[in-house]
Structure 1
Amino acid sequence: MPKFVISGVSGFRNRGVNALVATTVEGIKTIDPAAKITIISDTSDYDVLHGKKLTARFLQDVFRTRRGKLVRKVSLVSKKLANRLSSSFIEAMDAVEDTDIVIASGGDIFSSDYGDQKDFLIPLKIAQKAGKKVVFMGHSIGPFKTRQEADMWLEVANKSVLITVRESLSYQYVCQQLGVPENKVFLTADSAFVLALPEQAQIGRLASFYGIDSGKPLVALSVSQGIIKFSGADAASHFEVWKKIISTLLNDLGAQVLLVPHVQERAAFNDDRIIQSALVKEFDYDDRIKLVSGDHNASELKGLISLADLVIAERMHAGIAGLSSGVPTALIGYSVKARGVIHDIFGEMAEELELLVSVQDLVNGTSTEKWLKGLWSNRAKIAFRLSAELPKFRSLARKNFELLGALLK
């Protein structure tokens, strides 16, 4: 009975993280249905409620806390004393040291975008010191702003047994610029491409609950509260742009708007409900705007997104929910992850149809009306390309677990 630990989990309040972890657990179960899985998360108390169907154990990620770092130092001298200081730390450390494989999840945490990759590397170093296998699964890596950051990741990556990356830009960066041997690195796809939809009856009930009119066009919008901090864009200008987008959709294209808060972190700067609620208020609670206000999991949000005629997303995994459902989707991005995924799927069409716009360009001058009408008029062309490419990307998503399974043979 193989044992796995999944680390790098910031928590299911971010539905992208939820999608990654859920599909990783399901993928492991295809390798061995009896596998024992431990998920180390920043919000284990919340995640265990949303992860009841995952048949996994949830532990609090104490490695990234100040107390946890102190206890780790103490444990090097006396594990008994460390246990008295923090039994939860010792429980998490024991899980890492007693497993067969530690899977580093997290999507794009190993980059310079968020400033905390050092903390995410801690359980991986503990595993490697204990002689356990470490796998980086489905990542966008870098680009790192400093050589120190790159070397920090490479110290662990070069000792890992497998690295899969979800888009070709990261593959080229890891192999060509960072020099990781190509026999260790594989180009796959984000595992969220195989996130299961709810049953159609449940999707229908969700649509009815939120007042979605099936007889009118629907555009799903993922507006990010966190993109201001991560990109440095001006907050007021960003808000004004979204007002213009919603106004064009409502009044020029005659569409309903579905606002999907895909990330609902405890920290106000990264809770999409804040900016999306403000937009609803700005339009005086127009009933053509539907705000998804319930505490839904990633699959349920994907179900709602799948009903749309067009998706525009600042959150990567809201975009993947649209793409993997075959819905014409455009991404507003600030990093390699969006650029890589969109270009791998659409190639030159991504530029031609402006399926990727940087948040800085959007805020600083892109004609939103022209852009939206272009996306709207090219929906059939986008959907046709998606239908041709999706089988490949679903297969690449499953390849993550084929490669993982080979490590157990």
Structure 2
Amino acid sequence: MGQIKLYANGGSRNHGCEAILRSTKKILDKDICVYSTAQNEDLENKINEIMEIKENKNDNLKKGSLNYYISAINIKLFKSTLKYTEYTKKTFLEDVKKGDLYLSVGGDNYCYTGLDELGNLNALINKRGAKTVLWGCSVEPDIIKDEKVKKDLNTYSLIVARETLTYNALKESEINKSVLCPDPAFQLDKIDLPLPKGFEENNTVGINVSPLIIDCESKKGRTMENYEGLIKHIIDTTNMQIALIPHVIWDNNDDRKPLRVLYNKFKDTGRVVMLEDHNCMELKGYISRCRFFIGARTHATIAAYSTCVPTLVIGYSVKAKGIAKDIFGTYENYVLPVQSLSNKDDLINSFEWMKDNEDDIRNHLNKFMPEYKEKALQGKVEIEKLLEG
């Protein structure tokens, strides 16, 4: 039986990536190795305590070398980056053993353009006799229309789609090695730390915003204008506290930057608290003690859903809509696409709808979530089939 190896991991300062690693280990309950492009981040968050971490670095392609020219010719004449990936990922690929099972764990990597390296690695791993799995993923339906991407997806031994919009799009495109299974992070454990001053349990609105959604807005400044308006509205019309909760702290994509702008604007009210960085289980512990959660990061909202906190997602892609639809039967009112923020009070209106329907939403989550979370464990069955096959 081969070894389970995880790759396409972005690093644990994105606590969604960390959540996928931790919950995948919990679900599969086997020895696992992760190839990390940000080993320092995974060590910071103690991933080494649950699995082996191997560095996934790019090898130097020396200018003027034979491999350099072969790579350049393939790119220029055949528009193929396969040789480039083969040479720059030489160390990673030398570790591939026949019978190994490689899980691509970047859940939304196929929601964006620039998929050449993922496709190349998929092909090169298979060529060396190992199997590949696209694990806990969302795939933007329009991307599947690209024949090159479709061929790539068909090369995986298994695709585990985390929501039905992706699953149905794959089936319609005749990519038949697909199964439907909730995101592994629905199985993530939580840790309850002492609450900071100003965080009132079960009467605090958790708020998460990311630079990523700001980049996707249709009108410059509209996202932060909506968040500022919402916080002012909560302070003026309710007795609820507000907790600003970052979930990704990468230097070039740090939730704390927009959240600090909001905190500085409202800190003197005594109604707003800003959380600093914590691991994904500790963040889930804070989120679970909110009364409502309004979030941009997928795994921050999964932490809320899975602990039955009424949640509004400020989304930008298929993953937000698909997960909400599977939980509630519709994504209308549960997902507010950032691209649709046209008026300054759009977020206030969505929050008011959620507040008006608070009891119904919470009751639904309490009834629905136990069985839904249990389904996330089915991924283990599919993985064991591949290991035995």
**Among candidates 299, 316, 320, match of residue 338 of structure 1:** 320
Distance 1:263 1:67 in 2: 31
Q: TM-score, length-normalised on structure 1?
A: 0.84
Distance 2:62 2:56 in 1: 11
**Among candidates 226, 229, 234, match of residue 244 of structure 1:** 229
Indicate how the Cα distance of structure 1 residues 204 and 282 shifts in structure 2: closer, same or farther if over 3 A, else same. Answer: same
**Among candidates 361, 366, 388, match of residue 382 of structure 1:** 361
Distance 1:384 1:157 in 2: 38
Report the counterpart of residue 329 of structure 2 in structure 1.
Answer: 347
Indicate how the Cα distance of structure 1 residues 281 and 195 shifts in structure 2: closer, same or farther if over 3 A, else same. Answer: same
Report the counterpart of residue 83 of structure 2 in structure 1.
Answer: none
Distance 1:68 1:49 in 2: 32
Report the counterpart of residue 305 of structure 1 in structure 2.
Answer: 287
Indicate how the Cα distance of structure 1 residues 280 and 43 shifts in structure 2: closer, same or farther if over 3 A, else same. Answer: same
**Among candidates 263, 266, 285, match of residue 248 of structure 2:** 263
SS in 2 for 1:163: strand
Distance 2:212 2:231 in 1: 19
Structure 1 residue 279 corresponds to structure 2 residue 290: no
Matches within 5 A, 1:147-296: 147=145, 150-176=146-172, 178-181=173-176, 184-198=177-191, 203-205=192-194, 207=195, 209=196, 211-214=198-201, 217-229=203-215, 231-267=216-252, 270-294=253-277, 296=278
Indicate how the Cα distance of structure 1 residues 28 and 308 shifts in structure 2: closer, same or farther if over 3 A, else same. Answer: same
Aligned-pair CA distance for 1:107: 1.1
* Identity %, equivalent residues: 26
Q: Give the number of equivalent residue pairs.
A: 373
SS in 2 for 1:327: coil
Do 1:311 and 1:319's aligned partners in 2 also have CA atoms closer than 8 Å?
yes
Distance 1:284 1:68 in 2: 52
Greater shift, 48-57 or 339-348, is seen at: 48-57
Structure 1 residue 41 corresponds to structure 2 residue 36: yes
Do 2:123 and 2:155's aligned partners in 1 also have CA atoms closer than 8 Å?
no
Report the counterpart of residue 81 of structure 1 in structure 2.
Answer: none
Aligned-pair CA distance for 1:282: 1.7
Aligned-pair CA distance for 1:97: 4.1
Indicate how the Cα distance of structure 1 residues 106 and 307 shifts in structure 2: closer, same or farther if over 3 A, else same. Answer: same
Distance 2:65 2:377 in 1: 38
Report the counterpart of residue 82 of structure 1 in structure 2.
Answer: none
Structure 1 residue 20 corresponds to structure 2 residue 20: yes
Report the counterpart of residue 298 of structure 2 in structure 1.
Answer: 316
Indicate how the Cα distance of structure 1 residues 334 and 323 shifts in structure 2: closer, same or farther if over 3 A, else same. Answer: same
Deviations 1:110-150 (A, max 9, x none): 123xx332223333222111011111111111223584xx3
Query: Considering only aligned residues, what root-mean-square deviation do their CA atoms show, in Å?
Result: 2.8
Distance 2:151 2:219 in 1: 36
Structure 1 residue 101 corresponds to structure 2 residue 88: no
SS in 2 for 1:283: helix
Aligned-pair CA distance for 1:254: 1.7
Distance 2:55 2:218 in 1: 36
Report the counterpart of residue 134 of structure 2 in structure 1.
Answer: 136
Aligned-pair CA distance for 1:284: 4.3
Q: Which runs of 5+ in 2 are unaligned?
A: 72-85
Do 1:225 and 1:271's aligned partners in 2 also have CA atoms closer than 8 Å?
yes
Q: Which runs of 5+ in 1 are unaligned?
A: 78-85
Structure 1 residue 54 corresponds to structure 2 residue 50: yes
Do 1:71 and 1:89's aligned partners in 2 also have CA atoms closer than 8 Å?
no
Aligned-pair CA distance for 1:88: 9.5
Deviations 1:307-348 (A, max 9, x none): 000011111111100000111111111111111110111014
